[in-house]
Structure 1
Amino acid sequence: MKKVLIYSISLHGDEEAMALQEAKEYISKGNSVLYLSCDESLCGCKLNPLFKRNQCKMCSFLQHARMKRILPIGVVLKNLKDYSDKNSARHISEFKYAYTNIAELKSLTYCGVKIGYAALSTYITLTRNLDAQFMGAVKLYIDILLQHQIRLTDSIIRILDDYKPDLIYLFNGRFAEYRPVLDLARIRNIEFVVTENVKCPPNCVRRNLFYNSIPHDAYACNEKYEIMWKSYSDPVEREKLARSFYENRRNAVFAGDKIYVKEQQNGLMPPNWDKAKDNIVIFNSSEDEFCSINERIDSERVFPTQIDGICTIVAHYKNDGNKHFWLRVHPNLKGLPFHYHQDLYKLSYSNLTVIPADSPISTYALMDAASKVIVFGSTTGIEATYWGKPVINLVFSYYNQLHVVHTPKTEKELWKLIDDQDLPCLYNDNVLKFGLFPMSVRKMEDNHDFPMDYKTYSFFGKKLYVQHYRNYYFHSLGLTALVELVAWKLGSLLSRNPFKKVPID
């Protein structure tokens, strides 16, 4: 018999459903299961980013009302406040909140937990602001994220000492409300499972489980690609489905992610494209997505930032009249006011043309016409390999370990690759394995007992996605959605909080 600790954040829809499914599966196999829920002692998460205490209380109340109906028999339900540490206030006051830049913030730890990484990851996910000055309201906000993690770390340590679990289950692992649980499991050599939800239109949701790893671990993801590839008995069907990933993305059809080329004009090229030149296309990426996960991801960068890399490349070839670089700014950066996006349009080099994020110029037309493609980790990199182009990737990516792109470690290696007129395309079967995985969502772990497939409701101009497992609540998804929305709004209105919005300056 195993002792299993399941850590769940209240009312997070898919996350709660997956935690309940795991609780039922583990208890049905004769294990001991402790279901740990957050409450106002944490007072802040991605659903309550403004730290509204009464909203936390209402959320916790609603979850407990639901748990009385649907928590599997035999599972013990506890709140974080049941394990509060009376010394947490002193630990918070004694902690040195000494940071003035991203590197210093990332270096902050508490009891071995990388609370700096988690605070930064949470803040950037909420704001997409990589240019924050750590002073005033921004500093206060991040300090609160650090304080909450100190309190959470103290509570989790008490739980681990008291319950002594053999296995810990949690969601995601990188945000402030999860990182202490993940890092303490690693520090104490406790097995853990991290899960993510994966969606497939129109309303299908599945579990994606990572054993002793996280969703941002390329090795773990590559292993999943291999397992999924081998799970198909029909190789013809498998290859057709894998290729549909690349064809769908080119044709603006859903393929596991947001469709970024809907507003682009098929085949449209820049008017000043000179076919006589060596045209190298650079596809940048949403730099905020992987900037605060862990040291391994940070270490895979050739340059400190993407704009540093772009400037260094074009400056290195400023006297090479044969080469011209084209920067296709990622459509996901459209409208962002921050320097890491806006400064791209201030670049002034005779051998560089910048194509804005909202330009109708076709990503795939550029890809087809390029002699080489340079990427900063975006999916466009492996797509270009699929379409027969030599690709150079300069940062972390899930496909780096698949040997489908060139991955220089130094500037010297990069120049050699760019100068190679016969640089090969590294296409192999791993390209298809990568494409198959997001097209196989329905083969992933299903929530049989707590289905996450959802219906959409609109109340007061707000869209709510309500999972089917909530039928246990009022036996009416629409009524459930309305009651929870009213209760959520009530908790929000009755709360006092230090911020009207997450600060960006």
Structure 2
Amino acid sequence: MKVLFYNGMNITPHIETEMEIAVDLIKNKHEVYFTHCKGDLLTCCTNPSHVEWICRNCADKKKRAFQLIDIPKKNIIPYPKIVLDETIIPKSFASIDELKQFSYEGSDIGLGVASSLISEQRDHKLNTLLFNEHIQRGLRTALLVHKAGKKILDKVQPDEVVLFNGRFLDIRPFMRLCEQRNIKFYAHERGGTMNKYILCENSTPHSLTAIAKEIETLWGDGGPDKEEIGSRFFTDRRSRITQSWVVFTENQERGRLPEGFDRSKKNIVLYNSSMDEYEGIAGFSSRIYPNDNVGLLKLMESFQHEKNIHFYLRVHPNLKGLENSQVKELDEIGARFKNLTVIRAEEVVDTYSLLDAADIAVAFSSTMGIEASFWGKPVVLLGNAFYDQLNGFYKPSTHEEVVALLHQQLEPLPSKDILKYGYWELERGIYYKYYQPETLFTGKFMEQSVEVSKPKKVVNYLLAKGK
């Protein structure tokens, strides 16, 4: 069997994940190929501005990786030369939504560019005219990947393809080509814990349909300790234990509530998400409102005269230090309503103590929605989430239903489905055999680091600057 690795992400642990998969394939006598960018792309998810010394470091890291797993030179596939017809690309886009709609030969390259740019700039509502140069560079790169990808697939004729994530502008077009040609592909990402990775067959890590199915399958195959493991996910989160990503509550002051918290009132805590994480992903739009901010505004307009109900918005800690469109809008909403307290991302108010003190929790897509249910709170779920097919939540379908629910004295909806999610979070993925993680972004592969040495990085920097 021929397996082609579309090598588009070289940050640890992702390049090591591809090495891990490749080693076992080679041991089982399969033919393994890697694509190799030598600075051909105008932008990419690891080097958006196409800085030359970063390109050099990336190339050196890949070279070391290929040597460690003994990939023959003939199996390292460079990008073919492509002449682009840039008249295909519109000269500008009126909005980020218009950019998302742009496609070419059935490939949603506009969505990939929007997703990458939103992630890079950390702003879901980018001024597309201000960032037009970035957009044009991204679209040219995506077109290049689309056209070069055709030639690479024609040349290698792989039975399967392995690639990273599937969301970004320099990777998504290749994934779409696999779909168009009925080539089985696997998208890899971090697993539930640092010592695991996931492989999504003909899907991406963000597919709500695939995740819902996987949650049920894992639980069905689980052993007698699955409930204990499912519970541990939630207790570890509350204890600030690192699992698969950074601990956003690490710097919060345990037990700290907002000043003036009045227990005599009905207190409703809202947990939002950092919208830049989801705006570039198909299928993550809210079920009821266009986005979290619009939902918050409509809620407050409906409750602004309710003196005995107070809302606390715990702004997602991932928005710390940002002054993007989402944060500015939240500040404006917070200033309008006396019965709304906006707890900014950098404030040390304890997310969990606030939850304990609240009467109702409201979540858009945040994991805090399912955590709140685990800790015995009635939860109203407003948006799409990885857990939205499970029981344990009130799931209104209209704004009027939301308002009616929040006026009630809601009871928690206990359900073992909550443990299914916790079990999935910790158990999903494949254990590394050859890669040994040390932190979220460092580790050794077969006892060796793939990272470029500091002296070599200095040389690359000087060579790039000396041109």
TM-score scaled by length of structure 2: 0.90
Partner of 1:437: 424
Does structure 1 residue 208 correspond to structure 2 residue 162? no
Partner of 1:222: 212
Partner of 2:34: 35
* 2:143 counterpart (119, 143, 150): 150
Change (3 A) 1:129 1:494: farther
Q: How far apart are residue 107 of structure 1 and its match? A: 0.6
The amino acid of 2:424's aligned partner reads: F
* 1:135 counterpart (116, 129, 133): 129
Q: Is residue 159–residue 183 contact of structure 2 (8 Å, CA) maintained in 1?
A: yes
Change (3 A) 1:8 1:478: closer
Change (3 A) 1:316 1:17: same
Q: Is residue 10–residue 63 contact of structure 1 (8 Å, CA) maintained in 2?
A: no
Structure 2 distance, partners of 1:188, 1:360, is: 51
Change (3 A) 1:218 1:487: farther
Does structure 1 residue 98 correspond to structure 2 residue 92? yes
Change (3 A) 1:148 1:365: same
Q: How far apart are residue 57 of structure 1 and its match? A: 5.1
Change (3 A) 1:404 1:481: farther
* Number of equivalences: 465
Q: How far apart are residue 128 of structure 1 and its match? A: 0.5
Q: How far apart are residue 56 of structure 1 and its match? A: 2.8
Partner of 1:272: 260
Structure 2 distance, partners of 1:116, 1:397, is: 24
Partner of 2:435: 451
The amino acid of 1:337's aligned partner reads: E
Q: Is residue 27–residue 74 contact of structure 1 (8 Å, CA) maintained in 2?
A: no
The amino acid of 2:111's aligned partner reads: Y
Q: How far apart are residue 231 of structure 1 and its match? A: 5.0
Q: Is residue 42–residue 148 contact of structure 1 (8 Å, CA) maintained in 2?
A: yes
* 1:468 counterpart (445, 448, 452): 445
Partner of 2:47: 48
Partner of 1:71: 70
The amino acid of 1:317's aligned partner reads: F
* 1:249 counterpart (228, 237, 243): 237
1:340-379 equivalences under 5 Å are 340-347=326-333, 348-379=336-367
Q: How far apart are residue 54 of structure 1 and its match? A: 6.0
Post-superposition CA distance 1:405-453 (Å, at most 9, x none) = 23333223322322333x3433322211222234347xx42343x4243
For 1:402, what is the secondary structure of its paired residue?
A: coil
* 2:453 counterpart (481, 484, 488): 481
Q: Is residue 269–residue 311 contact of structure 2 (8 Å, CA) maintained in 1?
A: yes
Q: How far apart are residue 118 of structure 1 and its match? A: 1.0
For 2:338, what is the secondary structure of its paired residue?
A: coil
Q: Is residue 246–residue 435 contact of structure 1 (8 Å, CA) maintained in 2?
A: yes
Change (3 A) 1:61 1:480: closer
Change (3 A) 1:249 1:27: closer
* 1:124 counterpart (113, 118, 122): 118
Q: How far apart are residue 264 of structure 1 and its match? A: 2.6
Change (3 A) 1:400 1:10: closer
Q: Is residue 58–residue 487 contact of structure 1 (8 Å, CA) maintained in 2?
A: no
Q: How far apart are residue 478 of structure 1 and its match? A: 9.7
The amino acid of 2:11's aligned partner reads: H
What is the RMSD computed on CA atoms of the aligned residues? Answer: 2.8
Q: How far apart are residue 3 of structure 1 and its match? A: 3.2
* 1:427 counterpart (410, 414, 417): 414
TM-score scaled by length of structure 1: 0.83
Partner of 1:84: 81
Does structure 1 residue 166 correspond to structure 2 residue 138? no
What 5-or-longer segments of structure 2 have no aligned partner?
none
Percent same amino acid at aligned positions?
Answer: 28
Q: How far apart are residue 323 of structure 1 and its match? A: 2.3
Structure 2 distance, partners of 1:371, 1:270, is: 15
Partner of 2:317: 331
Post-superposition CA distance 1:345-364 (Å, at most 9, x none) = 23311322222222232222
Q: Is residue 44–residue 56 contact of structure 1 (8 Å, CA) maintained in 2?
A: no
Q: Is residue 12–residue 443 contact of structure 2 (8 Å, CA) maintained in 1?
A: yes
Post-superposition CA distance 1:452-488 (Å, at most 9, x none) = 43489xxxxxxx83533473xxxxx499533543354
Structure 2 distance, partners of 1:270, 1:468, is: 46
1:10-21 equivalences under 5 Å are 11-21=10-20
Q: Is residue 53–residue 461 contact of structure 2 (8 Å, CA) maintained in 1?
A: no
What 5-or-longer segments of structure 1 have no aligned partner?
457-463, 472-476, 496-505
The amino acid of 1:140's aligned partner reads: E
More off after superposition, 25-34 vs 100-109: 25-34
1:380-395 equivalences under 5 Å are 380-395=368-383
Q: How far apart are residue 213 of structure 1 and its match? A: 1.0
For 1:297, what is the secondary structure of its paired residue?
A: coil
The amino acid of 2:195's aligned partner reads: V
More off after superposition, 370-379 vs 275-284: 275-284
Structure 1 distance, partners of 2:343, 2:223, is: 44
